[in-house]
């Protein structure tokens, strides 16, 4: 009996190892960390958020099921204003952060340009800067006083001081400049990596055929880095709709004067944290998720990302 027990105990670990090494189970062992993290940090919070969006939550003890009432109350003037600010902010940042880094990457990677590594480091440095510190700098640089950095420049050239953070146009300019300054270097690195995959012989052949630099850029560079452009566009849409820290730092809170800089995430923060209305905040969060997914699916369809290469 003792011999049989010892034999079973020695065989059991081997059988487990052999099962884990089998071709059927082994691939699932590698994807198990991703599956667990997806279930714990994405699927469960999404289900919990949907459940909360159907409830009236006032603190931890007052929870009442109210159905779709939060979604009905969501579509108000403040929400649509936040949606408008977010959409305009996303549009302008995409308009700057898609083509400009590509042009800069093409110039920096050119063999005729010296000091390419310096320019790469200088342009990437803002991405390493704290959002809070950078936000404070932009806040004081664009302050309403005549002695502020930007207003002092305007006054020097004979213009009147401008209250950037107190007007719709001024607030949008500051937020777009802030985002463009901070994330320009990140997109630049993406494009520089993509440009390295283009053979130099293609440019040499085009130059022999008489194509100038502009023609080479639009005929060779842009089509060659199209997958990277689509990727940068996708993450830019997500980054634009999820912007919060920049606006929060510039305006000392989730809400701005007249809601001129209140984004959708700022609206969610204000409803959930400041007004203790977690049900409405959860509904707004799910609507934001749906908007980002719809916008990205549309832009992926328009750019031909769903088409199979023949």
- The one-digit pLDDT tens for each residue of the chain (310 residues) are 445 555 544 445 556 666 656 667 777 778 888 999 989 988 999 999 999 999 888 766 678 888 899 999 998 999 999 999 999 999 999 999 999 999 999 999 888 888 888 889 899 999 999 999 999 999 999 999 999 999 999 999 999 999 999 999 999 999 999 999 999 999 999 999 999 988 889 988 988 888 888 999 999 999 999 999 999 999 999 999 999 999 999 998 888 888 899 999 999 999 988 888 899 999 999 999 999 999 999 998 888 777 765 4
DSSP 212-244: -HHHHIIIIIHHHTHHHHHHHHHHHHHHHHT--
Any residues with CB less than 8 A from the CB of 202 and at least 6 apart, and which?
Answer: 220
Beta bridge partners of 305: none
pTM equals 0.86
Q: How many helices (H) and strands (E) does the chain have?
A: 17, 2
Domain ranges within the chain, ordered by starting residue: 2-53, 73-302
Residue 228 and residue 190 in contact, taking contact as beta carbons nearer than 8 Å: yes
Q: What CATH superfamily is the domain 73-302?
A: MetI-like (1.10.3720.10)
What integer pLDDT is reported at residue 310 of this predicted model? 45
């Amino acid at each position: 009996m003792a011999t049989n027990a010892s034999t079973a105990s020695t065989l059991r670990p081997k059988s487990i190892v052999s099962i884990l090494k089998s071709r059927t189970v082994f691939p699932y062992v590698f994807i198990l960390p991703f599956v667990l993290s997806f279930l714990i940090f994405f699927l469960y919070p999404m289900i919990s958020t949907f459940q909360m969006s159907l409830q009236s939550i006032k603190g931890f003890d007052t929870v009442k099921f109210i159905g779709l009432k939060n979604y009905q109350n969501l579509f108000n003037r403040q929400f649509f204003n936040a949606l408008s600010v977010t959409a305009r902010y996303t549009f302008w940042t995409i308009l700057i952060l898609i083509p400009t880094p590509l042009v800069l990457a093409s110039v920096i990677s050119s063999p005729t340009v010296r000091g390419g590594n310096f320019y790469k480091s200088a342009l990437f440095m803002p991405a390493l800067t704290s959002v809070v510190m950078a936000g404070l700098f932009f806040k004081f640089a664009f302050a309403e006083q005549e002695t502020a950095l930007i207003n002092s420049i305007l006054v020097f050239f004979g213009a009147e001081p401008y209250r950037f953070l107190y007007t719709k146009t001024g607030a949008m300019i500051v937020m777009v400049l802030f985002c463009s300054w901070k994330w320009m270097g990140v997109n630049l690195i993406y494009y520089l990596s993509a440009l390295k995959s283009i053979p130099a012989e293609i440019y040499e052949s085009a130059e022999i055929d008489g194509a100038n630099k502009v023609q080479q850029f639009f005929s060779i560079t842009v089509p060659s880095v199209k997958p990277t452009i689509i990727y940068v566009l996708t993450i830019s849409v997500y980054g634009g709709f999820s912007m919060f820290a920049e606006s929060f730092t510039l305006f000392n809170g989730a809400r701005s004067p007249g809601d001129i800089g209140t984004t959708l995430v700022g609206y969610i923060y204000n409803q959930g944290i400041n007004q203790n209305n977690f049900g409405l905040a959860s509904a707004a969060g799910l609507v934001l998720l749906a908007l980002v997914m719809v916008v990205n699916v549309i832009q992926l369809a328009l750019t031909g990302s769903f088409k199979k290469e023949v």
